Amino acid sequence: MSVPKNEIIYGKDFIKDARRLPLEVREKLAELLEILQEDPFNSSLHTKPLNAPLQGIFSFRIVRDYRVGFKFHAPRVILLLAADKRDKIYKRLQRKS
């Protein structure tokens, strides 16, 4: 018996962010979203929980300098919050919370 996939919800800021990413980063993100849907803690995502004041939010690596912030909206439902450069995303997520 297979484990059901996670549902992914795309926040409006995430959609705007994804459109602004360089083409090669967008292509990699598309691959990683399939993995995220199967297993949000797959080692290829480099998922990590964020510390206070961002508790309850996680991030995963797209490529070296880009990250996605997300949280579990409900069991097996993932809400994508933002995608940005590593040096900007955590400040942006803090403003959202």
In this predicted model, what pLDDT tens digit does every residue of 32-91 receive, in sequence order?
999 999 999 999 999 999 999 999 999 999 999 999 999 999 999 999 999 999 999 999
> Do the domain assignments include residue 2?
no
- Total domains, the chain: 1
Domain that holds residue 51: 7-85
Of the pLDDT bands very low, low, confident and very high (cuts 50, 70, 90), residue 97 is low
Distance CA 88, CA 85 (A): 5
> Do the domain assignments include residue 75?
yes
In this predicted model, what pLDDT tens digit does every residue of 18-39 receive, in sequence order?
999 999 999 999 999 999 999 9
- Please tell me the predicted confidence (pLDDT) of residue 4: 86
CATH code, domain carrying 71: 3.30.2310.20
Mention every residue, 6+ apart, whose C-beta is less than 8 A from residue 70.
36, 40, 57, 58, 59, 60, 78, 79, 80, 81
Say whether pLDDT at 11 is over 90. yes
> Do the domain assignments include residue 91?
no
CA 45 to chain CA mean position, Å: 9
Upper half-sphere CA count for residue 11 (Cβ side, 13 Å): 18
Handedness of CA 78, 80, 85, 88 (dihedral sign): negative
> Do the domain assignments include residue 94?
no
93 neighbors 81 (Cβ within 8 angstroms): yes
pTM over cut 0.75 = yes
> Do the domain assignments include residue 1?
no
- Please tell me the predicted confidence (pLDDT) of residue 1: 59
